[in-house]
Amino acid sequence: MRFTVAKAKGQHAATRRQTITRLMATAALLATTALTGLGFGMSSARAEDEIRIGVIYPLTGAAASTGVELKAAAELAAAMANKEIATPDGLVVGAGMPHLKGAKIKLIFGDHQGNPQVGATEAERLITTEKVVALTGAYFSNVTATASQVAERYGVPFLNGESSSASLTQRKFKWFFRTTPHDDLFVTNFFTFLEEMEKKTGKELRTLGLFNENTLWGNETTKLQVKLSDERKFKITEKIIYPAKTTQMTSEVQRLKAANPAVIMQSSYLGDAILSMKTYKELGFSPSMLLANDAGFNDSEFLKTLGKDGEYIISREVWALDQAERNPLIKKVNDLMRERSGVNFNGNSARAFTGIAVLADAIDRAGSTKPEDIRKALQETNIPASGLIMPWKGIKFDASGQNELGQGIIVQVQDGKYMTVWPFDVATKDIVFPMPAWDKR
């Protein structure tokens, strides 16, 4: 009897173990299918005249909504290169692929889910299984870092269009190219902007109050700002690195108020950005200029929550829709984007579009799909501003692979919209300066 019980128990345990094993196997299988499904779907036909480009974006996970927009932008650029839709004159991809006898570009998408490890695996899969001739992506700087490492190892060109961490082009990679300006350049832009503002208005803007949050980003920004103000003879009258996610900013704002600098340079994520604006208003502090470092101040929630109190802040951007008013090319391309995917371009998708366009242009000029030829063509890239939908001076890569003609723009909230106010030659609105005091609005 005892034996039977033991046996029954054993059997029971065995069945349970089997069930668990089976369940796990099924789960693993499902996971694999889900992961590679995208790849399988894409790799059905492989014609001879196909130019296969691997594109790695966050198509699932927290940043999926951005990933979907990036994908739409990439597909628009590919459709233009393939002459599937009419392309406005002068655009960098407009010519099709004449040097490759009209070969068609085929984008093979990989999904990194916001995870650097997955990004590297996807890069490997695209290179070895899908035999792509070049890679692009990956939006997240940390994923771009790992994925481009794989490309470097295999000797495949990697063109990054939308990651802004400065360190990416400091790695002395041979196969890495980046079209977008990086974070350091954006901060440098601030100082150039201030100097030009001084010339334009005849007012001194030499005293700065640095007001940055205390995580990696805020600290790095502070260091760079201190260095640049030394070099360019600006004076920092107050430097505050505040604890992120705080309950009150009274002490911070009081100190800024006491130091009374002409310009506040602020780096904050959304919650802190909102709280600081509220505190400025509460304590009646209005510097003549509030110069924000993107992030919280450009979040779509910022103006939605603050409404009128968000007016007149100045922030950096990579792109703004009002550019379409200035440049008919941008308007045409944006119309095509909206027609196809129902959304307007934004800073991310416009940069993704440009990345694919530049890559297609380089492959065409290379007249070949050999990685070495494409790399050489990328190095020789020299695209004028008129061929781009970006507010840049053009595209030309330096030895590190960084586009040296890129620049950010500076926007100001006017009537509830972000309007380009600098560089002055691409501005759509005059800057409102000084910022009106709270009681005079």
Partner 1 sequence: MTADILLQVLVSGLLIGLIYALVAVGLTLIYGVMDIVNFAHGEFLMLGMYASFWAFTLFHVDPVIALPITAVLLFGVGIVVYQTVIRRVLKAPMLSQIFATFGLMILLRGLAQFFWKPDHRLIPDSLVSGNIALGPVQFGLPQVIAALGAVGVTGALWFFLHRTRLGTALEATAIDREAATLMGIDGQKMFALAWGIGAACAGIAGGLIATFFPIFPEVGSNFILIAFVVVVLGGFGSVAGAFLAGIIVGLIEVVGGFVIGPEYKTAIVLSLLLIVLLVRPKGLMGKA
Q: Which residues bind partner 1 (CB under 8 A)?
A: 214, 240-243, 245-252, 254-255, 257-258, 270-271, 274-275, 278, 281-284, 301, 305-307
Burial 124-150 (b: 16+ CB within 10 A, else e): bbbbeebebbbbbbbbbbbbbbbbbbb
Shortest Å, Cβ 276 to partner 1: 11
Q: Which of residues 257 and 326 has its CB atom nearest to partner 1 in the complex?
A: 257
Task: Return the bridge partners of 397, or none.
Answer: 403
How far apart, in whole angstroms, are the C-alpha atoms of residue 406 and residue 185? 9
Shortest Å, Cβ 64 to partner 1: 14
Q: Which of residues 175 and 302 has its CB atom nearest to partner 1 in the complex?
A: 302
Residue 282 makes CB contacts below 8 A (sequence gap 6+) with: none
Query: CB–CB of 298/269 below 8 Å?
Result: no
Q: Is the peptide bond before 434 cis (omega within 30 degrees of 0)?
A: yes
Q: Which of residues 258 and 399 has its CB atom nearest to partner 1 in the complex?
A: 258
Shortest Å, Cβ 415 to partner 1: 17
Query: CB–CB of 438/284 below 8 Å?
Result: yes
CA-angle at 407, arms to 401 and 409, nearest 5°: 150
Q: Give alpha helix (H) positions in 285-410.
A: 300-306, 323-326, 328-341, 347-366, 371-379
Q: Which of residues 104 and 278 has its CB atom nearest to partner 1 in the complex?
A: 278
φ, ψ for residue 177 (rounded to 5)?
A: -130, 145
Shortest Å, Cβ 281 to partner 1: 8
Q: Which of residues 44 and 65 has its CB atom nearest to partner 1 in the complex?
A: 65
φ, ψ for residue 86 (rounded to 5)?
A: -65, 135
How far apart, in whole angstroms, are the C-alpha atoms of residue 202 and residue 91? 38
Shortest Å, Cβ 104 to partner 1: 41
| CA of residue 230 relative to chain centroid, distance | 29
Shortest Å, Cβ 313 to partner 1: 16
Q: Work out the end-to-end distance of the chain between its first and last CA atoms, rounded to an integer number of angstroms.
A: 91
How far apart, in whole angstroms, are the C-alpha atoms of residue 343 and residue 72? 9
Q: Which of residues 8 and 437 has its CB atom nearest to partner 1 in the complex?
A: 437
Q: Which of residues 225 and 381 has its CB atom nearest to partner 1 in the complex?
A: 225
Q: Which of residues 232 and 304 has its CB atom nearest to partner 1 in the complex?
A: 304
Shortest Å, Cβ 226 to partner 1: 14
Shortest Å, Cβ 416 to partner 1: 13
How far apart, in whole angstroms, are the C-alpha atoms of residue 17 and residue 11? 10
